[in-house]
Amino acid sequence: MPEEQEFSQFDDADPRINYKVRAKKTLEEYKQLDAEDESLAKWKESLGLSNDILPLEFPGDKRKVVIKSINLLVDTEAEPITFDLATEESIKQLASIRYKIKEKAVYKLKITFKVQHEIITGLRYVQYIKKAGISVDKIDDHLGSYAPNTETKPFYEVELPESEAPSGFIGRGCYSAVSKFIDDDQTNHLTLNWSVEIVKK
């Protein structure tokens, strides 16, 4: 499967959002913002703004969202299927692996990630799905807004809604997927190419 796939039928931009995102503030500016505003203080607390921010994933790392792992949780499997995202090479190799899921199995993704450098707002998980070269589905799930991780909160973990694998002669077969992590200002933090094969029970 090619490293990058075109899904021109779909648009990365969320059609529900038609406003321009304001200029981002630094972490220090957020901490000092309207210190006497109780509602704003609660909002900042909910984002996890704190002084014990973790160091970067590695020195000089410019990434703002670091996807640590993705687990494909399938109800028919005792152990989750884990996507290896440790290196750029392992991410590229992900495209050549075909994971098998039994028809009618209930599955979901669990995403573990880290935020660094600045607050990320409106992070979304967008997934495009093709079968036999034809676009069959698009998933667009809102993950939320996050402050850089701290010693007390070293990573974030989000489970996406459950889905049921298709079944029958038409439903079985190979599906290719392109997954993206996009924030409010349309920054794409990571693109993953992967595939599954829906097999008979």
- 62-106 per-position pLDDT tens digit: 999 999 999 999 998 989 999 999 899 999 999 999 999 999 999
Arithmetic mean of pLDDT, 5-27? 52
Asked if residue 15 is part of any domain, the answer here is no
Segment holding 156, helix H or strand E: strand 156-159
- Of 149 and 51, the structure prediction assigns the larger pLDDT to 149
Output the pLDDT for position 52: 81
Asked if residue 168 is part of any domain, the answer here is yes
Q: Is it the case that residue 170 has pLDDT exceeding 70?
A: yes
Tally of domains within the chain = 1
What is the 3-state composition of the chain as percent helix, strand, coil, each rounded to the nearest 5?
Answer: 15, 40, 45
Q: Which residues contact 101 (CB under 8 A, 6 or more apart)?
A: 72, 74, 76, 107, 165, 196, 197, 198, 199
Asked if residue 16 is part of any domain, the answer here is no
Residue range of the domain that includes 113? 3-7+23-199
Tokens of 101: 């899921």
Q: How far apart (Å, rounded) are the C-alpha atoms in residues 96 and 7?
A: 19
The whole model's pTM is what?
0.78
Give the pairing of strands 156-159 and 163-164. Answer: unpaired
Residue type, 175: Y
Give me the CATH number covering residue 100: 2.70.50.30
Q: How far apart (Å, rounded) are the C-alpha atoms in residues 73 and 106?
A: 8
CA angle 142, 145, 150 (to 5 degrees): 130
Per-residue pLDDT tens for 29-40?
A: 665 655 566 776
Q: How far apart (Å, rounded) are the C-alpha atoms in residues 29 and 31?
A: 5
Asked if residue 165 is part of any domain, the answer here is yes
Q: Is it the case that residue 5 has pLDDT exceeding 60?
A: no
How much of the chain, in percent, has pLDDT values that exceed 70? 76
